[in-house]
């Protein structure tokens, strides 16, 4: 299929790479790829290209990395690419109205939630934190508001009791590429449905993650904490004080029990895990990480702290 559409793609992190690949495979012409400027990374703090830049260069595509799209020069460069469509996926820069108006067919965005729920920066983690039963991806026609544009296509997926932020991220990244590929195909053959305005009811905002949120408060319910642990895996990773030591908590389960007067105390510790009293029920830590160490099972951790071992009560 080739419709002659000229696409400019804008994205930055790993999440956006499958969508870029979907554009390349669509038969349309990806004329340029926009991504954020290289950032310092790693222990040496050397400038590192974004995952989208790496994928674009590997595909032989031109790459643009403006600090902003607000100035006249940056907008002139974009206009010179003569895009029919601008596809934006986790780009990370604000697109002014004049940029949104530049492509002949406007701008599309792939957003990792079921809009209008979880507009904003961290929809994947917020959905897990809230205990949502499902989430998905929307292909949206962009407008000036934050994730407020009408929706063209949608994909849904359940959130399982085992899903971590990382696992859901990867699944939604592939779903996003699927819905984008369908949108591009249907745009070419004239079967794309009219964009549906988002309902006014049910709006919520997925604010950017803060490392401070990852500190566990055992006066909260074990279920709330278990959601945090899954949502913050692999970043920023939940942390807690356990028997006098600060640990990162990678995995845990909720078990029955009621010791709110002992919140934060170790109730039992065995190969099955470390049971911590919470405001409601009990949280069993199953994978932890000591300062400077690697994630290990609770059983291995207890080998290093045999004084904690006690049979489950």
Report residue 102 as tokens. Answer: 């530049």
Q: How much is the pLDDT for 45?
A: 85
Tell me how far CA of residue 8 lies from CA of 12, 24, 78, 80, 198, in angstroms. Answer: 13, 11, 8, 11, 25
Strand-pairing partners, residue 40, are 47
- Residue 140 three-state SS: strand
Residue 114 labelled as part of a binding site: yes
Strand-pairing partners, residue 47, are 40
Residue 113 labelled as part of a binding site: yes
pLDDT in tens, the chain (313 residues): 345 799 999 999 999 999 999 999 999 999 999 999 999 988 888 999 999 999 999 999 999 999 999 999 999 999 999 999 999 999 999 899 999 999 999 999 999 999 999 999 999 999 999 999 999 999 999 999 999 999 999 999 999 999 999 999 999 999 999 999 999 999 999 999 999 999 999 999 999 999 999 999 999 999 999 999 999 999 999 999 999 999 999 999 999 988 889 999 999 999 999 999 999 999 999 999 999 999 999 999 999 888 887 654 4
Q: % helix / strand / coil in the chain, to the nearest 5?
A: 30, 30, 40
Q: How much is the pLDDT for 310?
A: 66
CA 165, 114, 186, 142 torsion-angle sign: negative
Q: How much is the pLDDT for 235?
A: 96
Residue ranges of the alpha helices (H) in the chain? 17-25, 51-58, 72-80, 97-100, 123-129, 165-189, 222-231, 298-304
Domains defined for the chain, CATH in brackets: 6-206 (3.40.50.170), 211-308 (3.10.25.10)
Q: How much is the pLDDT for 308?
A: 83
- What lies within 8 Å, CB to CB, of 107 at 6+ separation is 85, 86, 87, 88, 95, 99, 100, 141, 142
């Amino acid at each position: 299929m080739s419709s002659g559409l000229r696409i400019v793609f804008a994205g930055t992190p790993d999440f956006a790479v499958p969508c870029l690949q979907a554009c390349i495979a669509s038969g349309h012409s990806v004329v340029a790829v926009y991504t954020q400027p290289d950032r310092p990374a790693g222990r040496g703090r050397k400038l590192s290209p974004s995952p989208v830049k790496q994928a674009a260069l590997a595909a032989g595509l031109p790459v643009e990395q403006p600090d902003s799209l607000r100035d006249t020069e940056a907008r002139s460069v974009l206009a010179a690419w003569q895009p029919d469509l601008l596809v934006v996926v986790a780009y990370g820069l604000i697109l002014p109205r004049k940029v949104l108006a530049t492509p002949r067919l406007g701008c599309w965005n792939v957003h990792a939630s079921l809009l209008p729920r979880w507009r904003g920066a961290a929809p994947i983690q917020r959905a897990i934190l809230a205990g949502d039963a499902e989430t998905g991806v929307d292909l949206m026609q962009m407008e000036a508001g934050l994730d407020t544009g009408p929706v063209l296509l949608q994909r849904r997926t359940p959130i399982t009791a085992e899903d971590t932020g990382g696992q859901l991220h990867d699944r939604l990244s592939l779903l996003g590429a699927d819905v984008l590929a369908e949108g591009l195909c249907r745009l070419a053959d004239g079967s794309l449905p009219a964009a549906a305005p988002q309902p006014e009811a049910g709006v919520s905002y997925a604010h950017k993650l803060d490392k401070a949120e990852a500190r566990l408060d055992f006066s909260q319910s074990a279920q709330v904490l278990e959601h945090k642990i899954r949502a913050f895996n692999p970043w920023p990773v939940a942390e807690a004080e356990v028997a006098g030591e600060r640990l990162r908590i990678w995995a845990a389960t909720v078990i029955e029990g009621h010791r709110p007067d002992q919140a934060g105390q170790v109730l039992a510790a065995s190969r099955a895990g470390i049971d911590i009293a919470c405001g409601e029920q009990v949280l069993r830590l199953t994978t932890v990480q000591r300062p400077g160490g690697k994630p290990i099972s609770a059983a291995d951790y207890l080998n290093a702290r045999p004084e904690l071992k006690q049979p489950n009560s």
